[in-house]
Amino acid sequence: MDLKKPAKKITLKPVCQDVDANRTSPKNKLASGRQGGKLKPLKAPKKEKRELDEQDDLAFKKKQQENAKKEEAARKLLLSKKK
């Protein structure tokens, strides 16, 4: 009786091994030296929408008109002094 031995499995190792395989993780290999471009700014929380009452709205518009009148008067005063 002739008994044959089972064939041995041969495992091949890659010829080109990565020297830094122990020092770097796979994530670091993808972006070598740079972090992948410009960083995105952090998102600010959304502001709550608030509705102004008619009284607040009218008071605000009145205040803006008064400020505009004061600025116009100051502008005219400066222009008259330059001449």
String of DSSP letters for 16-70: S--GGGGTS-HHHHHSSSS-SSPPPPPPPPPPPP-PPPHHHHHHHHHHHHHHHHH
3-class DSSP assignment, residue 79: helix
Write down the pLDDT at residue 7: 73
Query: pLDDT per residue over 18-69, tens digit each?
Result: 555 555 555 545 555 556 778 788 888 888 877 767 778 888 999 999 999 9
Residues 6+ apart with CB under 8 A from 52: 60
- Residues 81 and 79: their CA atoms lie apart, in Å, by 5
pLDDT for 71 equals 97
Per-residue confidence band for 76, with pLDDT thresholds at 50, 70 and 90: very high
Q: pLDDT-derived band of residue 83, with 50, 70 and 90 as boundaries?
A: low
Domain boundary assignment for the chain:
54-83
